[in-house]
Amino acid sequence: MSKLALTLVLFTFLFSMLASQAALETKSISGKSFITLRSIKSHYGFLKMSLSENKITLRKDKVKLEFIIGSGLCYMNGLKFSLSSAVKSSGGRYLVSDIDVSTMIDPVLKPTFISTAKSFNTVIIDAGHGGKDAGAVNRLGTEAGYNLKVARTLQAGLKSKGFKVVMTRETDKYLTLGQRVAIANRYPNAIFISIHFNAASNTLAKGIETFVLSPVGVAGYGRGVKSSDYKTRSGNHQDSANIALATAIHGRMKERVDKYKVPDRGIKRARFSVLSGIKNPAILIEGGFMSNPTEAKLIDDKIYQSTIATAIYEGIFRYRGALNAAKR
């Protein structure tokens, strides 16, 4: 199978071809390296490029890549990704930051690493918080409790399909982040999923989001780049697999929660310590806002909890399907 044909496997198991190897064209602006959008078009073999208002769309067959000019948002097949720099226009060219192309766009559009990625037989499920750390709390319950409910449902589903499942906790007990990492790193052929629900002081905040570890040189969530962001973490050895795993699972979650009108906040990057320390492909999921009255009720509902668990389960199969397709 063509390396480039894997893109859509991550989304839908449909195959598409993005196949040209024209070089990417680099431009430097105040010491930062950018890639021109027209070279992204030819490099990935997109056929059409269209501009409407503030949005640029590249298309080929079933693959669609959209950039919102002046914002740090990019959509790949409708799935939202937060870039580290806004897409800008300069000297008649549209420019995307080099690091976003290499660490976010390329692993999704051209998941070549998948053909060499190790297959996995173990899923490590990390129910966030627990014990003295309840996580977010509202009138209806605690985040630690909800995380565990989703984790248990996912555990049962995966076990019934023959996966080996490791739970970082199965009861309401406290674990440090370091202990979670230590458990995860005992299993070499594994993926790691940390389950959480969000809270914010703004009760209007809503939606699902998924985090992967920030690659080297990309800022942590919600701040500028610091010198420590140039240090390689254990999790950075899985940068490409992390983003592919997030694409497969978050994409499925977005499809599944759509009927509840829970919006998609996208795939984001952060330097959370649990993601930093893990040697296996790892993601952290936030399944909605406990601080939002509407979502609080959903999160307390068994059906919604199992919807999230099912979406993660199906996303795991999607990711595994991409690995298997590459090895055919």
* Contact footprint for Zn ion (CB under 5 A): 128, 135, 196
Distance CA 214, CA 114 (A): 19
Output the smallest distance, CB 202 to Zn ion, in A: 17
Output the smallest distance, CB 247 to Zn ion, in A: 22
Distance CA 174, CA 292 (A): 26
Q: Which CB atom, from 135 or from 315, has the smaller least distance to Zn ion?
A: 135
Closest-approach residue to Zn ion (CB): 196
Burial 148-158 (b: 16+ CB within 10 A, else e): bbbbbbbbebb
Distance CA 3, CA 31 (A): 32
Q: Which CB atom, from 264 or from 286, has the smaller least distance to Zn ion?
A: 286
Distance CA 146, CA 148 (A): 5
Q: Give, as one character, the DSSP assignment of residue 102.
A: I
Q: Which CB atom, from 170 or from 258, has the smaller least distance to Zn ion?
A: 170
Output the smallest distance, CB 196 to Zn ion, in A: 3
Distance CA 207, CA 201 (A): 14
Q: Which CB atom, from 135 or from 251, has the smaller least distance to Zn ion?
A: 135
What is the widest separation between alpha-carbon atoms in the chain? 58
Q: Left if phi > 0, otherwise alpha if psi is -120 to 50, otherwise beta: which for 14?
A: beta
Q: Which CB atom, from 65 or from 290, has the smaller least distance to Zn ion?
A: 290
- DSSP of 235-303, one letter per residue? GGGGHHHHHHHHHHHHHHHHHHHGGGTPPEEEEEEE--HHHHH-SS-EEEEEEEETTSHHHHHHHHSHH
Q: Which CB atom, from 135 or from 157, has the smaller least distance to Zn ion?
A: 135
Q: Are 317 and 323 in contact (CB under 8 A)?
A: no
Q: Which CB atom, from 107 or from 288, has the smaller least distance to Zn ion?
A: 288
Q: Which CB atom, from 130 or from 315, has the smaller least distance to Zn ion?
A: 130
Output the smallest distance, CB 165 to Zn ion, in A: 21
* Sign of the dihedral through C-alpha 295, 299, 303, 304: positive
Output the smallest distance, CB 144 to Zn ion, in A: 8
Output the smallest distance, CB 175 to Zn ion, in A: 13
Output the smallest distance, CB 132 to Zn ion, in A: 14
Task: Give kind and range of the element (H or E) at residue 9.
Answer: helix 7-11
Output the smallest distance, CB 248 to Zn ion, in A: 22
